[in-house]
Structure 1
């Protein structure tokens, strides 16, 4: 281990937890952000390997002061932040565009797109001072193969993906990278709730047949892609999106 640390935004969610476990294999310390469920973050910290310190930190993405305070606290606690993983999302249904009301758009954009912008604004000065750092942003495969009813999720994530590419292009000269991971149908976190509630088991079985690998993904599938991009193994990769969908978008 090399004294490297990471910050996982949304660590108490299904994908965030999986990312924290994967990153713990490469990082000595991980800041585990939570909005209100402190006990879940503390429990996750106890589940990480002994050689990796899990450090819960409150972070409300809708509050700029909360975001900047969380990044500053993690930087002070660990002495540096080498990677920021954005794996947070709003629990939403899948309404068609004609049924989405403005307050729904505002909630998702405020938390996801503007939340990411706040994280970037707080983390960039830390990365620049260090002369290195990288962002890994979890987006959506819907920006490549659109499933009806997914606009409320995919539209903000399209902006998040564009922001990631902008960071890569503009901040590379400071040793800063940014990449994205686009999950397909994942049986974890919000995806697991969709599988349980939205359609019948028969419909989901039909959906699996449209996927080249004939199965839904799991949290570990996404987390391993995040782990790779956050590591030095991806030191010459920036501004890219890895699609983790089992061939759904082919």
Structure 2
């Protein structure tokens, strides 16, 4: 297998945790970013002692740019072994009745259509290699819905379904696709929510709903991603690994 990983959304809070985890296992890690070049570069310097780290500008809203970024990296690195999708939109948590069409279009265009573009750019590479895998970060909300999470959950449910379709249709080419569904995580957008969204009392109630009585960390999600991307998971495809401490039980 090509020992090169590409992380879409690699400069974000959760994406950076994934890059750090993959750096110890993959020869090259492409840190995909849209506009935060400084953060991607800083992360590349941080993990550069463990792998070849390469910031790659990749705007999910630009179909041609997605193809150029992924194909260009694959050509220079000599292939892609795993494509990790951790891209997303900074959102609030309104109820469905409060969500306007513009907000729906933004999340669907960036997350679901963004993933579709990434798949379209990556599948030809994986087919030529006769191997490769996708790991997508989705949401536990598709399995146990918390009110107010529709903007995040709906596009990620589409990503999850597309992952299963890829697994079923592309397995004959040695291609796998799996998903990781985090619960409440103290990283990335989750960390912002924990700090600013609700009162401490509300978050304490949420914490008590979790079997392990704590929120998760970015590293715990990253470990699940790394496992599914690795050869240890070579006979696992089309599955969603829920990493929520028992929130959805």
Rounded to whole Å, the distance in 2 between the matches of 1:92 and 1:63 is 20
Q: Is the 8 A contact 1:211 1:246 kept in 2?
A: yes
Report if aligned partners of 2:215, 2:245 keep a CA contact under 8 Å in 1. yes
Structure 1: distance between partners of 2:154 and 2:141? 9
**Does 1:125 find its partner at 2:124?**
yes
Equivalences for residues 87-236 of structure 1 within 5 A? 87-236=86-235
The DSSP-based 3-state class of the residue aligned with 1:73 is helix
CA distance in 1, matches of 2:218, 2:76: 28
| TM-score normalised over the length of structure 2 | 0.98
- Describe the SS at the equivalent of 2:141: helix
Counterpart contact for 2:133–2:176, Cα < 8 Å: yes
SS state at 1:209 partner? helix
List 4+ stretches of structure 1 deviating above 4 A. none
TM-score (norm 1): 0.98
Shift, 1:49, TM fit: 4.8
Look up the match of 2:23: 24
- SS of equivalent to 2:39: helix
Greater shift, 10-19 or 197-206, is seen at 197-206
Residue 75 of structure 2 aligns with which residue? 76
Are 1:85 and 2:75 an aligned pair?
A: no
Give unmatched runs, 5+ long, in structure 1: none
Q: Are the aligned partners of 1:138 and 1:181 in contact in 2 as well (CA < 8 Å)?
A: yes
Residues 2 and 81 of structure 2 are in contact (CA less than 8 Å); yes or no, is this contact kept in structure 1? no
Contact 1:187 1:219 in 2 (8 A): yes
Give the count of matched residue pairs. Answer: 249
Could you tell me how far apart the structure 2 residues matched to 1:93 and 1:188 are? 15
Matched residue SS, 1:47 = helix
Question: 1:33 is paired with a residue of what secondary structure?
Answer: strand
Shift of 1:51: 3.7
- What is the CA–CA distance in structure 1 between the aligned matches of 2:199 and 2:49, rounded to whole Å? 42
Q: In 2, Cα distance between the equivalents of 1:167 and 1:114? A: 15
Gapped regions of structure 2 (runs ≥ 5): none
Please say which of residues 194-203 and 110-119 is displaced more in the overlay.
194-203
2-structure distance, mates of 1:236, 1:189 = 30
CA distance in 1, matches of 2:76, 2:21: 21
Partner Cα distance (1:228, 1:207) in 2 = 28
What is the RMSD computed on CA atoms of the aligned residues?
0.9
* Deviation at residue 3 of structure 1 after TM alignment: 5.9
CA contact (8 A) 1:3 1:29 kept: no
User: How much has 1:188 moved relative to structure 2?
Assistant: 0.4
Range moving further from structure 2, 73-82 or 162-171:
73-82
Tell me how far apart the structure 2 counterparts of residues 37 and 24 of structure 1 sit (CA, whole Å): 20
For 1:194 and 1:7, how far apart are their aligned partners in 2?
Answer: 27
Is the Cα–Cα contact under 8 Å of residues 2 and 80 in structure 2 kept in the other structure? no
- String of CA shifts for 1:188-215, please: whole Å, max 9, x gaps: 0000000111111121112111000000
